[in-house]
Every structure is written in structure tokens, then in C-alpha cells.
A and B are shown apart, each in its own frame.
Chain A
């Protein structure tokens, strides 16, 4: 009777019921292409919810293999996946959840040489990486390609989230003009992280992405959401476009030193001091 099979109508019925979704919204989701960079603690829940919602084409980019220490929070992967490339393990999990979508595994690191080609195939990018270098690279690529970027990061019990709209910003550089010196901000590997914290932030990244695709609601642009999981507290801080930011003049992707910045996750204290 419609553009959807009876199984699709039943599968997506609980969201098709919603104002702003319906059949037209479900068709937008089916036609959407989302790249998730990092199939880890953030990318796992984000990817699962986007696949479940029927986002038609999902790209999973990750250069790592599944390690035993990942399984406490990276819920795309199972014990049987140990040693497999995360992008491939994640792809299999997503297709088992929803065989009606397409999932592309990009095994390997995003570099200034390949990032624009990969990102250019998608409508929205989710940042689920674990290092500052990739964040700056993703920020600049999405700005150049005119693609929204949904930022998220976590450490210990804390997380933060914001959405970067290419035309209006503010971008990651507006908020964090340069990466912290090596060793100043600890990594999740050093400082630890409790699994549900990236779970919360990754779910919120998925929700921001669905809103962007559907064109509903108010996305988290021009403001940053901080989550203090230990005290169950959400706070918001304004973020403004910096007039001297590189995003105002960025014209091409040079191999900038920020792209080499080491693994780290910003804390609330760190980010608040910078915005």
C-alpha cells in the first residue's frame, strides 16, 4: 500500500507514530548516509540506534581491532570478536540488528589524504574518536565538505556533546583553538571510563543525528552539554563562533600539526576553561 513493506511498517511503527516522523520522515532516514568515526564506546551505541532506526546507509570507520579491554563499554563487539577489525565486527552486529540497511566498514585510519573522500560520501558525521588529532581533522573536513558533525567525548564519569553545523558553527576549533600539550589531559586508557557514560553520550549523538536528518527539534549548536555521570547532572554552556578561528578562512586541507595530537579526552574543567 505504501513505500514501505508491512515488516518495515511494523519495525518502525513506534517512531512512525511520532509527529515529524511518519512515512516522510522514515523515507528521509532510509535515504540518509551517516559516517561514524570510531566503533568504540561512543560509536557503538550511536551506530546501534541509527541502525535500529533504519538509517539506510551507515559507514563505520576504525583502524583498531577488538581488544578484551574494549568489551566493558564497546557494545558493538562480542567476546567472539576479539582480534577482529572493529569496523567489520561492528558491521556484522548492525546487520544482525537490521538486515534492511547497508553498512560499510572503513578499516583504517582517517588521514588528511583520505578523509575528505570518505566523509564526502555521507550526510552527517558522528565523532566517536579517542584522540585530539582525529577531532581536528574531522572538524576541518566536515567544515570543508559542508557536513554537520556531531561531537562527543568522555572520560572517567564525565562526558560532553555538541553539534557543529557547517554554515553557522561554532566549530571544534572555535571552542578548543588548539589541542592541549601532550600529557596534560589523561586518556581513557590512563584515567578509565565507566561504560554507561559513553553510552549516554553516544545515544545523545544518535538522537542529534536523527534530528538533523528529520529536520525536527533544536540541535545542540552554539551550546555544549556537559554530563557529570557521578552526580547525575547535565549542564549547558554557551559556545560562540570565534572571529579569528581557522574555520572562517579554511580553504583546503593542509597537513596541520594538530592532526598529529595524541589520544586524549577533554574533561569538563578543561573545556570550560577554553570556551
Chain B
């Protein structure tokens, strides 16, 4: 899977982590893939859900060394 941009959100609490991911996705083109690293607990549950609700495609949510790696493809519509 080609990753177009990465964002390390370790230590960033909800919902600021999601807002930062949302802002990063706005910089990408529709169809491009963003890799986001978030903490265990609330972030790994909330961030993928919020990304999906915003119209993006969550491709992967996987644990890696106590943290979580999310791959998300930017939706095609306007990125609100």
C-alpha cells in the first residue's frame, strides 16, 4: 500500500488528534492515503470512527508496539 503522507499523533488526545488528521487530509488529493499513528484506548477507537463519518475510507487499523496504525484514503467529495 502506497502511503502518501504520515502523521504521528502519539500523546495527542481526542479530539485534537482527529482534527489534526482532518487538516492533513485536506492537504491531500482525493484517493491519496494517509498513515496516522495514535495511542491505545480512546484514540484508536474514536479517530477511525470520526474519519469514516467525515467521508473517508478507513483501510486499516492495526496494533504495532502498543500503538495503533491507521491507514485512511481521502474521500472524493469536498473535504469539509
Q: Closest CB of chain A to B65's CB: distance in Å?
A: 23
Instruction: Tally A-B pairs: CB < 8 A.
Output: 44
Say if the beta carbon of A16 comes within 8 Å of chain B.
Answer: yes
Taking a contact as CB atoms under 8 Å apart, the answer to whether B23 and A16 are in contact is yes
Which of B13-21, B37-45, B66-74 lies at the binding interface? B13-21
Residues from chain A with a CB closer than 8 A to the CB of B54 are 19
Cα distance A47–B3 in the bound complex, in angstroms: 43
Cα distance A14–B15 in the bound complex, in angstroms: 8
Say if the beta carbon of A234 comes within 8 Å of chain B.
Answer: no
Say if the beta carbon of B63 comes within 8 Å of chain A.
Answer: no
Residues from chain B with a CB closer than 8 A to the CB of A17 are 15, 18-19, 22, 50
Question: CB-nearest residue of chain A relative to B55?
Answer: A19
- Contacts A4-B23, A16-B23; A21 near B16 (Cβ below 8 A): no
Cα distance A16–B25 in the bound complex, in angstroms: 13
Within 8 A of A (CB), among B1-46: 7, 15-16, 18-20, 22-24, 26-27
Taking a contact as CB atoms under 8 Å apart, the answer to whether B23 and A13 are in contact is no
Taking a contact as CB atoms under 8 Å apart, the answer to whether A2 and B16 are in contact is no
Say if the beta carbon of A244 comes within 8 Å of chain B.
Answer: no
Cα distance A20–B26 in the bound complex, in angstroms: 12
- Contacts A16-B19, A22-B22; A2 near B79 (Cβ below 8 A): no
Cα distance A160–B20 in the bound complex, in angstroms: 39
Residues from chain B with a CB closer than 8 A to the CB of A21 are 80
- 1/0 per residue, CB under 8 A from B, across A1-39: the answer is 111100001100110111111111100000000000000
Q: Give the A-binding residues of B (Cβ under 8 A).
A: 7, 15-16, 18-20, 22-24, 26-27, 50, 54, 79-80
Taking a contact as CB atoms under 8 Å apart, the answer to whether A1 and B19 are in contact is no
Residues from chain A with a CB closer than 8 A to the CB of B26 are 22-24
Known: A9-B23, A24-B80. 20 other contacts (CB 8 A): A1-B7, A1-B20, A1-B23, A2-B23, A3-B23, A4-B23, A9-B19, A9-B20, A13-B19, A14-B15, A17-B15, A17-B19, A17-B50, A18-B80, A19-B54, A20-B80, A22-B26, A23-B22, A23-B26, A24-B26
Taking a contact as CB atoms under 8 Å apart, the answer to whether B15 and A13 are in contact is yes
Q: Closest CB of chain B to A264's CB: distance in Å?
A: 42
Name B80's contact: one of A3, A14, A25 (CB within 8 Å): A25
Residues from chain A with a CB closer than 8 A to the CB of B7 are 1
Cα distance A2–B27 in the bound complex, in angstroms: 8
Q: Closest CB of chain B to A160's CB: distance in Å?
A: 31
Taking a contact as CB atoms under 8 Å apart, the answer to whether A13 and B16 are in contact is yes
| Residue from B18, B23, B54, B79 having most chain A Cβ neighbours under 10 A | B23
